[in-house]
């Protein structure tokens, strides 16, 4: 609501019926808003409905009367839509069980984990486990340190929980490790935060698995990028020269003598800088590039090299469903479920419809 006030924008309040109690949640939310905030809310929407909408109609009429707001539509639950990230990592507690795979990838479930959907594409060919304690780690074929909203804080968690020692021990024994963004920073020797951009700690020792140092800056880098793979050993034995796309969103800068990727383009035009780092064996790497595994050709090459590393039999792998196509399906569902004429009227009137 703070953003709505700042932008003077009308609001549609959406309730998740899949969790139950949606009428109480919507009416209760309106009751808890300040009077001026309530004025911004121009309509209600029910999301993730299963069943016959005719049975819900009396409830919708009661809701509109109680809330004194129109119900603009009911969006059905569509399980077949894939590759669209849930709101946040709370979803990891309720994600459906995976089919069995002979390739085991353990993603460290950091307290401030972000961008967990980076690893969704791996689930078609790997058992992707989210691990929060050392005893859950086991002996995976790949350990992944994901992005985080608090690199130093989550690095301290790894050390205090015993996960840091467990990861280092497995890595030293040969288990491949990948770090994305904050996870990449953790893999290095040291993280420095001279301006207190992220933490009151000015400096923290990393896991020491990559020969890099990270220095936090006061400004965050946020950009979409196109890159080419420059590494050609270990997990990248089949990837050199491949073009990949993704995005950067990070505070720090990490120097490396030999990069994994070379950034060739951003929305501003051509680019020319390296990204990431790799150990000499090619089994431990880090990168700032989110969305790396969403690149089908790269992902399949990477997993083929990982399977070869562990002497697992070759396996045919399929491309992921088109994310754009999945969003188109969702957009079609939403458009067909809402009173779009009413939505456009609300948008057209804007702030005049609020005050």
Helix (DSSP H) and strand (DSSP E) numbers for the chain: 11, 17
> What Cα–Cα distance (Å) separates residue 216 from each residue in 156, 195, 196, 201, 338?
17, 8, 8, 12, 45
> What Cα–Cα distance (Å) separates residue 117 from each residue in 15, 107, 290?
23, 11, 9
Q: Which helix (H) or strand (E) holds 4?
A: helix 2-7
Choose, from 141, 250, 290, 294, the residue flagged as catalytic. 290
> Residue 345 in 3-state DSSP?
helix
Choose, from 181, 250, 294, 305, the residue flagged as catalytic. 181
Contact status, residue 241 vs residue 227, Cβ threshold 8 Å: no
How far is residue 139 CA from its own chain's centroid? 25
The residue length of the chain stands at: 355
Which residues lie across from 249 on neighbouring strands?
222
Catalytic, 290? Answer yes
DSSP state of 122: G
CA dihedral angle for residue 156, residue 306, residue 285, residue 159, rounded to 10 degrees? 10
Q: Which residues are catalytic?
A: 181, 290
């Amino acid at each position: 609501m703070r953003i709505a006030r700042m932008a003077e924008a009308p609001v549609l309040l959406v309730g998740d019926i899949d969790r139950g109690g949606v009428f109480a949640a919507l009416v209760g939310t309106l009751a808890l808003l300040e009077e001026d905030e309530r004025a911004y809310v121009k309509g209600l929407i029910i999301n993730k409905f299963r069943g016959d909408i005719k049975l819900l109609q009396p409830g919708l009429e009661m809701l509109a009367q109680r809330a004194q707001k129109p119900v603009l539509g009911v969006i059905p639950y569509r399980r077949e839509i894939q590759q669209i990230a849930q709101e946040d990592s709370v979803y990891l507690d309720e994600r459906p069980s995976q089919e069995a795979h002979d390739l085991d990838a353990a993603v460290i479930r950091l307290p401030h984990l972000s961008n967990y959907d980076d690893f969704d594409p791996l689930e078609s060919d790997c058992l992707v486990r989210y691990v929060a304690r050392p005893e859950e780690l086991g002996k995976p074929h790949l350990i992944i340190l994901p992005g985080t909203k608090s690199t130093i804080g989550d690095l301290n968690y790894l050390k205090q929980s015993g996960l840091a020692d467990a990861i280092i021990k497995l890595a030293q024994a040969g288990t491949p490790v990948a770090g994305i963004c904050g996870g990449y920073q953790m893999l290095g020797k040291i993280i420095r935060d001279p301006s207190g951009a992220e933490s009151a700690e000015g400096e923290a020792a990393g896991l020491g698995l990559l020969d890099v140092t990270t220095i936090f800056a006061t400004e965050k880098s946020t950009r979409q990028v196109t890159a080419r793979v420059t590494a050609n050993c270990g997990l990248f034995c089949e990837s050199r020269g491949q073009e990949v796309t993704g995005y950067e969103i990070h505070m720090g800068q990490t120097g490396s003598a030999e990069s994994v990727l070379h950034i060739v383009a951003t929305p501003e035009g051509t680019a020319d800088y390296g990204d990431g780092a790799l150990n000499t064996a090619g089994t431990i790497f880090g990168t700032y590039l989110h969305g790396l595994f969403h690149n089908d050709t790269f992902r399949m090459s990477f997993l083929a090299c990982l399977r070869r590393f562990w002497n697992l039999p070759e396996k045919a792998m399929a491309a992921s469903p088109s994310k754009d196509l999945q969003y188109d399906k969702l957009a079609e569902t939403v458009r067909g479920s809402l009173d779009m004429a009413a939505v456009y009227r609300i948008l057209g009137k804007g702030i005049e419809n609020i005050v």
